[in-house]
Amino acid sequence: MPVAEPVDPNVMDVETKPSLPVGDDRAGSGSEDIGGEVEGSPSAASEAHPEVVLRSLDTLWFQVAGTVCNLACTHCFVSSSPTNRTHEFMTLQQVQSFLDEAAGLGVKEYYFTGGEAFLNPEMEAILEATLRVGPASVLTNGLLLDRQRCERLKALAEGAEYSLDIRISLDGYDAESNDAIRGPGTFDRVLEALSLLAEVELNPVLTVTEVYRELASHEGKERFFELLRGLGLTKPRLKVLPIFQIGAEAERSNAYQSWQRLREGDLPDTEWDHLQCSSCRMVTEKGVWVCPILVNEPQARMGERLADTLEPFPLDHPACWTCHAYGVSCRT
Ligand code: SF4
């Protein structure tokens, strides 16, 4: 099956979709930056947006490598790259201080991302500290997972009371489609990392962003499962995420349009619990943000410490529309 049709994030086929004014008018007046308005459309800024209440702080994210990455993927909603120092690495001491605060707030699980998490020289020590208090997941591009590190991670997982999950990103079934997004040579290197994890008997979660429509189809998912089985992962695991049209992705596939905003009444009562911002916060070395998606948005920074960030948050960013429309959670 060829992987050729890129996803148009403005055209949806999910059942939860709101009624959309236009399928795809990007060739005409529709494409614009976040916060901009389509000429002649109602002003999004003048509309009331819903507020999400933090029902319980279950999940704590750490932007542990800041925005520093050894790749510069063209769909990265954080725009991470080797030169992006918007957010710097977090130290073990900084993470430990939030782990201590989180314990008192009832946090149940911890996620680590970047940038590339394993660029952080203290990453393994951070995982060790975290696994003393709860389950941990690391989101990685896999390029720094050599045999020695995989063996150390296995030892860490075996010696811990809580579970350690590794999530590895791949965005195509072959080098041509994946490397167009993630960079030359990455497909082969990710497969090598997956094989090493299989050898040490760690079962990673393959994380795929829906940059091509086929990737999220039943057939597409089966193809990834086959790929993983072929590498020795007998119980393959897969997570598919939609694209967020911010950061580098806004350059690749265009930014949100002004109608892509949540308004009062858009969310039924049953949906609030599914929004990850109703149960998570994201920590960077600059403070605490509402969620893992909006770390480059100054208005999404809620405070210095977790205790400062327990208030409701207005869902006035266009990325919130994607969370609603696709039912997204970045959790595994
Ligand atoms: S982007 Fe998603 S998770 Fe973040 S505040 Fe908006 S709805 Fe919540």
pLDDT for 193 beyond 80: yes
Q: What is the pLDDT of residue 46?
A: 53
Write out residues with Cβ below 6 Å of ligand 1.
52, 275-277, 290-291, 293-294, 313, 315, 317, 319-320, 323
Nearest CA to ligand 1 atom 3: 277
Which of 275, 289, 299, 321 for mutating ligand 1's site (highest number of atoms within 8 Å of CB)? 275
Nearest CA to ligand 1 atom 6: 320
- How far is 256 from 107, CA to CA, in rounded Å? 33
Residues 6+ apart with CB under 8 A from 148: none
Verdict on whether the full-model pTM lies above 0.85:
yes
Residue 136's nearest CA partner among 198, 60, 208 is 60
pLDDT for 279 beyond 60: yes
Summarize pLDDT for 66-104 with one digit per residue, the tens: 999 999 999 999 999 999 999 999 999 999 999 999 999
Q: Which domains does the chain have, with CATH numbers?
A: 50-326 (3.20.20.70)
- How far is 173 from 224, CA to CA, in rounded Å? 7
Summarize pLDDT for 112-140 with one digit per residue, the tens: 999 999 999 999 999 999 999 999 999 99
- How far is 44 from 166, CA to CA, in rounded Å? 39
205, 136 contact by CB (below 8 A): no
- 329 falls in which pLDDT band (50, 70, 90)? confident
* Mean of pLDDT over the chain: 88
295, 235 contact by CB (below 8 A): no
Summarize pLDDT for 230-275 with one digit per residue, the tens: 999 999 999 999 999 999 999 999 899 999 999 999 999 889 989 9
Backbone phi, psi, residue 301, to 5°: -80, 120
Give the position, in ligand 1's atom list, of the atom nearest the Cα of 324: 7
pLDDT, mean of residues 11-27: 33
Per DSSP, what are the bridge partners of residue 52? 313
**Distance of CA 146 from the midpoint of ligand 1 (Å):** 34
